[in-house]
């Protein structure tokens, strides 16, 4: 793990099978934001363990966040047979995202052991990094944990890096976990 020193969805958690004693109740606890995307499927265990440990030591809640791009949101909405004109709440769809379900499932036990909680949130926007930063700001996150994959410098320039943009713009420290 490396760190940058730069500085709604309780029902969705219920849909994901999060136990009541693990789900946050929007209390006074500080928040560690854990954005999860489709690319995090291979990092689920590492991200869940890191989030539980960090949140436990900081005595915070974990907010699992998924940002749907407009295209992904439309694809999930269509797959679930919503009418094209309907715009279901993204919190109602987030339980259909496999990496989110996996992280939530893997977080329950370690969070219970640390005596902390979680909730799940979803947003829609094509600027994924911007949505993550906005969510961190909205919940006054004390830390953001982001996953990433190893890329060449050329790959970063050509394709950009959501994790890098979050690290540079987040209103709190960012911990980065990458594939080895």
Q: Give the pLDDT confidence of 93-131 residue by residue, as tens digits.
A: 998 888 899 999 999 999 999 888 999 999 999 999 999
% of the chain exceeding 70 in pLDDT = 75
Q: What local confidence, expressed as pLDDT, does residue 154 receive?
A: 63
DSSP code per residue over 37-61: -GGGGGGHHHHHHHHHHHHHHHT-E
Q: For residue 23, what is the DSSP state?
A: B
Task: Report residue 32's pLDDT band, with 50, 70 and 90 as the boundaries.
Answer: very high
Q: 122-153 pLDDT, tens per residue?
A: 999 999 999 999 999 999 999 999 987 666 66
**Which fold would CATH assign to domain 2-178?**
Rossmann fold (3.40.50)
Beta bridge partners of 145: 175
SS3 82: coil
């Amino acid at each position: 793990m490396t760190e940058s020193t730069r500085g709604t969805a309780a029902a969705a958690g219920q849909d994901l099978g999060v136990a009541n004693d693990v789900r946050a109740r929007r209390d006074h606890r500080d928040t560690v934001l854990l954005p999860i995307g489709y690319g995090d499927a291979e990092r689920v265990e590492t991200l869940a363990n890191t989030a539980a440990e960090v949140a436990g030591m900081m005595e915070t809640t974990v907010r699992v966040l998924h940002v749907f791009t407009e295209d992904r949101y439309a694809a999930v909405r269509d797959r679930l047979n919503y009418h094209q004109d309907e715009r279901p709440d993204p919190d109602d769809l987030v339980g259909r995202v496999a990496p989110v379900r996996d992280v939530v499932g893997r977080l329950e036990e370690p969070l219970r052991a640390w005596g902390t909680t979680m909730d799940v949130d979803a947003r829609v926007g094509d600027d994924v990094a911007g949505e993550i930063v906005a969510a961190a700001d909205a919940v006054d996150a004390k830390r953001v944990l982001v996953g990433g994959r190893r890329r060449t410098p050329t790959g970063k320039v050509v394709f950009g890096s959501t994790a890098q943009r979050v690290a540079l713009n987040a209103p709190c420290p960012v911990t980065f976990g990458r594939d080895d």
